[in-house]
């Protein structure tokens, strides 16, 4: 099966001043197929670096990621990525954005059109196929980005703060959509987020990362994602277990930030 395995991944950047920054240190974990993972951490802890390495945009300086037993050495169609601002091609229409990957492969046109219809339906954009992308709202753009990524049928979906730029209401709707897609497609999904609530809601598993050097600090197994499939997310958020975990993690991150500030001040 195509599990994601991290084997002692290290990432060291050389700075211009001649020093080094240890962005990731000895990251090891296994993400089973169909799991939903959210990654949380203070800014500068290497979340995005981690994601870029898994996507294949950067190469680690030590260790390796394996997807389905194969080492990751570059971007590939078995991993799809959703970016913070959507990163849509604004010169194309919604449908052209969604079928971009298939067109690059040179797939059959009829089949492609059919697939695009299906996916626009799933993400709730029926009838928007010919709309120019630049006319869409932020939430709709993210829906297009999701469809564009999913249409290629990747094994692993990487999301880099996908809902960060959305307003609260749209955000809740999108969270439900992500859960729905996770359930219906059974894909492995890895989400990076700044929001603790979102991480709790959208994480079957949750990694809290610590900075300097970037490392896995603590791992949680959470029931909320499973609950979210059937229950109203607002109800979950009001449960005692949810608030407790949230407070615990917030305190943890708060302490890390304090520590960084202290370090910076001492230096």
Partner 1 sequence: MIVGTLFIILICLLIGSIIYGRRLVRTEVTDAVFGNPTRALGGWHWIVAGVSSILIIWLYFSWDAGRAFFPKSANELCQVAKLNRTANPIRSAFPLEDRLLRSTLLLERDYGQMDALESKLANTNFNETDRAELQSVISEMRATLAAQADPKLMDPGTAGRLDEIATRINDLAKNIADDNYPSTPDPDREKALAQPAWGETSTEIPPMPMTDLGYKFSKAAEVMDGISKDFSKIRNNGENITAKLEALQARYKGFKIDESDGEEITAQRKELLKQVEKIYRRIDDGKIFPSAMTQKVEDALINLDDVKKSEQGMLRYIDIFALPGGDILAGNRACSEQGSGRWLPKPSDTLQTFVKMAHPDEGYKGIPLLWYKMKPVGEVFEILIPDWIANLVPGEYPRHDDAGNVLTNFKNKVYNFATGNYESMMIPVPIGHIWDSMMRVLAGLFFGIILGVPLGLYMGLSRFAKGFFDPLIELYRPIPPLAWAPLILTIFGIQDDGKIFLLFMVAFAIMVISARTGATGTQLSKIHAAHSLGASKFQIIRKVILPNSLPEILTGIRIAIGVCWGTLVAAEMLAGTTGIGFVENVARKQSDYEIIWMTILLLGLLGLLFDLIMRFIIHRTIPWRGKG
Position among 68, 127, 132, 223 found at the interface with partner 1 (CB under 8 A): 132
Binding mask 22-41 for partner 1 (x = CB under 8 A): --------------------
83 φ, ψ (degrees, to nearest 5):
-100, 165
Under the binding rule (CB under 8 A), the answer on residue 13 touching partner 1 is no
Compute the least distance from the CB of residue 104 to partner 1, in Å: 5
Under the binding rule (CB under 8 A), the answer on residue 134 touching partner 1 is yes
Position among 38, 112, 133, 142 found at the interface with partner 1 (CB under 8 A): 133
209, 29 Cβ separation under 8 angstroms: no
Count the site residues for partner 1 by CB under 8 A: 28
CA distance 160 to 141: 15
Under the binding rule (CB under 8 A), the answer on residue 191 touching partner 1 is no
Q: First-to-last CA distance in the chain?
A: 47
161, 192 Cβ separation under 8 angstroms: yes
Position among 53, 55, 123, 225 found at the interface with partner 1 (CB under 8 A): 55
94, 144 Cβ separation under 8 angstroms: yes
Under the binding rule (CB under 8 A), the answer on residue 89 touching partner 1 is yes
Considering the complex, state which of residue 8 and residue 105 has its C-beta at the smaller distance from partner 1. Answer: 105
Looking up tokens 């050097």 gives 213
For residue 36, give both structure tokens: 């939903």
Q: For residue 170, give the 3-state DSSP assignment.
A: helix
Under the binding rule (CB under 8 A), the answer on residue 56 touching partner 1 is yes
What does the angle CA 150 – CA 164 – CA 261 come to, to the nearest 5 degrees? 130
Q: Which residues bind partner 1 (CB under 8 A)?
A: 52, 55-57, 75-77, 79-81, 83-85, 87-91, 100-101, 104-105, 132-134, 148-149, 152
């Amino acid at each position: 099966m195509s599990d994601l395995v991290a084997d002692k991944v290290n990432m060291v950047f050389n700075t211009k001043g001649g020093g080094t920054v240890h962005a990731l240190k000895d990251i090891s974990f296994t993400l089973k197929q169909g799991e939903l993972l959210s990654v949380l951490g203070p800014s500068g802890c290497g979340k995005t670096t981690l994601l870029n390495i898994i996507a294949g945009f950067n190469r680690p300086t030590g260790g390796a990621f394996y997807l389905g037993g194969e080492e990751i050495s570059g971007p590939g169609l078995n991993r799809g990525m959703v970016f913070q601002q959507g990163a849509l091609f604004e010169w194309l229409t919604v449908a052209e954005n969604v079928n971009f990957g298939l067109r690059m492969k040179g797939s059959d046109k009829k089949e492609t059109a059919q697939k695009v219809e299906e996916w626009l339906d799933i993400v709730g954009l029926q009838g928007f196929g010919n709309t120019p992308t630049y006319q869409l709202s932020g939430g709709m753009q993210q829906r297009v980005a999701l469809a564009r990524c999913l249409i290629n049928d990747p094994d692993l979906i990487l999301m880099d703060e996908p809902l960060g730029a959305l307003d609260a209401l749209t955000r809740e709707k999108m969270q439900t959509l992500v859960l729905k897609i996770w359930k219906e497609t059974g894909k492995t999904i890895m989400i990076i987020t700044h929001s603790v609530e979102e991480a709790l809601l959208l994480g079957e598993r949750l990694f809290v990362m610590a900075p300097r050097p970037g490392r896995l600090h603590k791992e949680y197994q959470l029931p909320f994602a499973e609950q979210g499939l059937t229950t109203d997310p607002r109800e979950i958020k009001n449960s005692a277990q949810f608030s407790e975990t949230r407070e615990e993690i917030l305190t943890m991150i708060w302490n890390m930030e304090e520590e960084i500030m202290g370090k910076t001040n001492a230096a």
